């Protein structure tokens, strides 16, 4: 409804306010083709099925559009952290098997069954809760057994796996679809921890052979495992961050040819010259050493852009790298552009390419003193996401 409807002279069309104008000039651009190319590269490298992990809003890339694209591109299963994420996918029409990786709360078991979500069963007590709920609903539960081989998060300790596996095999109301564990140190190709975890995991899996039961799908490798430890690939791999074209750690080897899917762009909203001795932003922590050209960019920590980048992060303006000056505010931050010129509305690239320059999320994370995972997942819903690539308009 437009309040001015009917007030225009005959023949003059109502000005159309399109989404392009109502969206912020700050955008996340997601290249869906990069995600599916990365999926294929990971599949080719590992040689086993891939369960793409789409938890935490698909690592900031947008849960539903990414999941729809992966389903259209032939992914055979998805992984999320929470039952709520699984339900959101079901409500968006995703029909693939979905494994919820997180620990389960007894009162939520019914939700899993109702939405046909696979459960992670991480103790005999949880198994009993699942059995009771499944029996009450008259619906078998699809479960994956979780073994703790050294992560120390959830799961039955590897040296107590025998009774756990036997209890699960004896359960009439649970169908064992998989058995898995999680690697603690796979980001580091030189860590001896991964070999130890693999050995413990295989020992736990051996209980199935010992009792003559069919082996369920064994899965262990996160992105680090995919990259550095081929022995961990087993029957399926579970990459998250690598799917989005980002390496898990500065120590990681780029063993799989992937490319980043996400860029973060904004536009100059203000230009000025700060006189020598003038200060910028809260706390007046930055003082112009000489007359300095400064632009203001309309995104801040309220969008998830790290405040830790204050006075030392970099962005691309006019095809060159320029430094953040002063503190990052909730909704804006300032950049000194040196001798470059910039006009209002000029593009500012925070993550991604501009001309022959590129800022990768790994670099942003290092500058902010954190890991790429955190930078990606903090980019919140205040920033509109725009999708490019083959399936971009299919969703």
Ligand X SMILES: *Cc1c(COP(=O)(O)O)cnc(C)c1O
Provide the annotated binding site for substrate. Answer: 153, 330
According to CB under 6 A, which one of 144, 182, 228, 322 is a site residue for ligand X?
182
The least CB distance from residue 55 to ligand X, in Å, is: 6
Q: According to the binding rule CB under 6 A, does residue 181 interact with ligand X?
A: no
Nearer to ligand X, 315 or 371 (CB): 371
Residue nearest to ligand X (CB): 240
The least CB distance from residue 279 to ligand X, in Å, is: 40
The least CB distance from residue 372 to ligand X, in Å, is: 9
**Contact mark string toward ligand X, 51..70, x via CB under 6 A:** --x-x---------------
The least CB distance from residue 74 to ligand X, in Å, is: 20
The least CB distance from residue 181 to ligand X, in Å, is: 9
Residue 208 DSSP code: H
282 a catalytic residue: yes
Residues 312-341 that bind ligand X (CB under 6 A): none
Do the beta carbons of residue 332 and residue 299 sit within 8 Å?
A: yes
> Is 387 strand, coil or helix?
strand
Nearer to ligand X, 54 or 288 (CB): 54
The least CB distance from residue 355 to ligand X, in Å, is: 30
According to CB under 6 A, which one of 101, 227, 295, 359 is a site residue for ligand X?
101
DSSP annotation string for 313-367: -EEEETTEEEEEES---SS-EEEE-TT----TT-EEEEEEEETTEEE-HHHHHHH
272 a catalytic residue: no
Nearer to ligand X, 224 or 304 (CB): 224
Q: Which of 55, 59, 244, 301 is catalytic?
A: 55
Cβ neighbour number for residue 132 with a 10 Å cutoff:
13
Look at the chain and count its residues.
395
Residue 239's closest CA among 229, 224, 260? Answer: 224
Residue 221's closest CA among 232, 207, 206? Answer: 232
Residues 121-140 that bind ligand X (CB under 6 A): none
Cβ neighbour number for residue 257 with a 10 Å cutoff:
12
Nearer to ligand X, 34 or 334 (CB): 34
Residue 9 DSSP code: P
Strands 314-317 and 320-325, by their bridges, are antiparallel
Dist CA 242 CA 96 (whole Å):
21
Cβ neighbour number for residue 195 with a 10 Å cutoff:
12
Nearer to ligand X, 55 or 69 (CB): 55
**Cα angle 223, 306, 79; round to 5:** 30
Nearer to ligand X, 135 or 374 (CB): 374
Task: Name the binding residues.
Answer: 153, 330
The least CB distance from residue 368 to ligand X, in Å, is: 18
**Contact mark string toward ligand X, 216..255, x via CB under 6 A:** ------xx--------------xxxxx-----x-------
Dist CA 103 CA 153 (whole Å):
9
Residues 35-54 that bind ligand X (CB under 6 A): 53
How many residues of this chain interact with ligand X, rule: CB under 6 A?
Answer: 12
Cβ neighbour number for residue 389 with a 10 Å cutoff:
17
Q: Which of 59, 146, 180, 282 is catalytic?
A: 282
Dist CA 98 CA 127 (whole Å):
19
Kind plus residue range of the DSSP H or E element containing 375: helix 372-378
Nearer to ligand X, 79 or 352 (CB): 79
> Is 175 strand, coil or helix?
strand
Residues labelled as active-site residues: 55, 282
In the complex, the residues that contact ligand X under the rule CB under 6 A are 53, 55, 101, 182, 222-223, 238-242, 248
């Amino acid at each position: 409804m437009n309040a001015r409807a009917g007030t225009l002279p005959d023949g003059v069309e109502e000005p159309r306010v399109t989404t392009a104008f109502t969206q912020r000039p700050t955008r996340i651009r997601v290249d869906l083709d990069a995600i599916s190319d990365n999926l294929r590269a990971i599949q080719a490298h590992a040689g086993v099925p891939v369960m793409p992990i789409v938890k935490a809003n698909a690592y900031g890339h947008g849960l539903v559009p990414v999941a729809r694209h992966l389903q259209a591109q032939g992914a055979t299963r998805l992984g999320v952290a929470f039952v709520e994420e699984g339900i959101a996918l079901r409500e968006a029409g995703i029909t693939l098997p979905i494994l919820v990786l997180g620990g389960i709360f007894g009162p939520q078991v019914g939700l899993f069954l109702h939405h046909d979500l696979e459960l992670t069963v991480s103790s005999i007590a949880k198994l009993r809760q699942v059995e009771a709920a499944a029996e009450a609903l008259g619906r078998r539960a699809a479960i994956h057994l979780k073994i703790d081989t050294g992560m120390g998060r959830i799961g039955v300790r590897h040296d107590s796996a025998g009774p756990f596996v036997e209890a699960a095999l004896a359960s009439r109301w649970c169908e064992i679809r998989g058995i898995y564990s999680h690697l603690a140190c796979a980001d580091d190709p030189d860590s001896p921890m991964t070999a130890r975890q693999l050995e413990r995991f295989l020992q736990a899996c051996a209980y199935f052979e010992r009792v003559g039961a069919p082996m369920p799908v064994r899965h262990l490798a996160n992105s680090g495992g995919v990259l550095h430890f081929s022995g961990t690939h087993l029957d399926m791999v579970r990459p998250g961050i690598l799917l989005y074209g980002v390496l898990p750690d500065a120590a990681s080897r780029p063993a799989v040819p992937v490319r980043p899917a996400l860029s973060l762009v904004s536009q100059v909203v203000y230009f000025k010259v700060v006189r020598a001795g003038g200060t910028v932003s809260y706390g007046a922590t930055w003082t112009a050493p000489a007359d300095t050209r400064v632009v203001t960019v309309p995104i801040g920590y309220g969008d998830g852009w790290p405040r830790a980048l204050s006075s030392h992060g970099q962005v691309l303006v006019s095809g060159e790298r320029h430094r953040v000056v002063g503190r990052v505010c909730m909704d804006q931050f300032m950049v000194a552009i040196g001798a470059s010129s910039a006009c209002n509305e000029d593009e500012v690239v925070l993550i991604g390419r501009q001309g022959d320059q590129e800022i990768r999320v790994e670099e942003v994370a290092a500058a902010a003193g954190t890991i790429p995972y955190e930078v990606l997942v903090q980019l919140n819903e205040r920033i509109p996401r725009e999708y490019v690539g083959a399936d971009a308009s299919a969703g």
